Amino acid sequence: MDRPQGYLLSGGQSRRFGRDKARQPIGSRTLIEQLQLRLNEWTTPVQIVADRADKYADLEITALTDRIPGQGPLGGIHAALVDARDRTELPWVVVISCDMTELNPRWLDELWQAAISSPDSKVVLFQESADRRHPFPACYHVSLIETIESQFAAGRRSCQALFEAIGDQLRTLPLPADWPDVPQFNTPEEFAAWQQRKPS
């Protein structure tokens, strides 16, 4: 069965972390290299979306750039959808972020199975609670491009605002049983907490 194009977003400024989170060493690789490898094991090819095409040239990674700069993670999702629309016949993409601490292929299987069995859905993601929905990892439908552009025109650039806008076209799944205590990190303290908790 065909799988959707994979995209890894790494366009943030990492201000709270103090340096580029994607370059954080994890063993012998940087985090972005490790996540790219994991996602590439599930689907190929994998595209990196960043604020500059040469951001990771030293790692031999060429990145796509946001089509509409300065829109945060939703701008990265938009760039992924536009690229996929021009690149593949599948109308879905799977998107992850560069600050994810873990990526289990079974999570992607769950999301993808839900996406292909939900013809009226435009986003499929994991929901932790009534007010906490995880935009990454998630499946996004290319038909969202115009909706996202309308959000930008109205000054709404958050993923959560998009989820509210599409209403019942959002499909949510319960968190997997092995979802990590620290799914993403924004500060050195959160990174240290994850390092202490993860299995050796």
Taking only the tens place, the pLDDT of each residue in 19-75 is 888 888 888 899 999 999 999 999 988 999 999 999 999 999 999 999 999 999 999
Q: How many domains does the chain have?
A: 1
CATH number of the domain at 51, please: 3.90.550.10
| Cβ-based neighbours of 9, under 8 Å, separated by 6 or more | 49, 50, 73, 76, 77, 80, 95, 96, 97, 98, 136
In degrees, to the nearest 5, what angle opens at C-alpha 124 toward C-alphas 122 and 128? 140
pTM above 0.85, yes or no: yes
Taking only the tens place, the pLDDT of each residue in 115-136 is 999 989 999 999 998 788 999 9
Q: Which domain holds residue 184?
A: 5-197
